Amino acid sequence: MSLLHFDANIARELVRQTDHLTATIHPASAVTSNDDDFATALVDAIDRTNTQTRHLADYLQRVAENSSRVIAHAENHDAGLGHTLEAF
């Protein structure tokens, strides 16, 4: 399987997952019935946004690590193929 095949699959999955995750991140908003609850509601909204942002950052880190492994595997495979062809 070529590196281009891996890249296309990774790119499609990255776009799909990123679209899904960014669609779930909403602007911090707080709706309250009185002024006393506003501070608590705002802090909760910010905490939710920060949590969603951390999840997205973790996902992108996993994608980067996986991409590095796939590229390293393809480079090793290509190097092995090059050595095999040189033997002929």
Share of the chain above pLDDT 70, in %: 61
CA-CA distance, 15 to 13, in Å (whole number)? Answer: 5
Q: What are phi and psi of 33, to 5 degrees?
A: -95, -15
Could you give the CA distance from residue 71 to residue 13 in angstroms, rounded to a whole number? 16
End-to-end CA distance of the chain: 22
Alpha carbon distance 9, 6 (integer Å) = 5
Question: What pLDDT, on a 0 to 100 scale, did the predictor assign at position 49?
Answer: 81
In this predicted structure, the answer to whether residue 47 has a pLDDT above a threshold of 80 is: yes
Alpha carbon distances (Å) from 19 to 15, 16, 22, 55: 6, 5, 5, 13
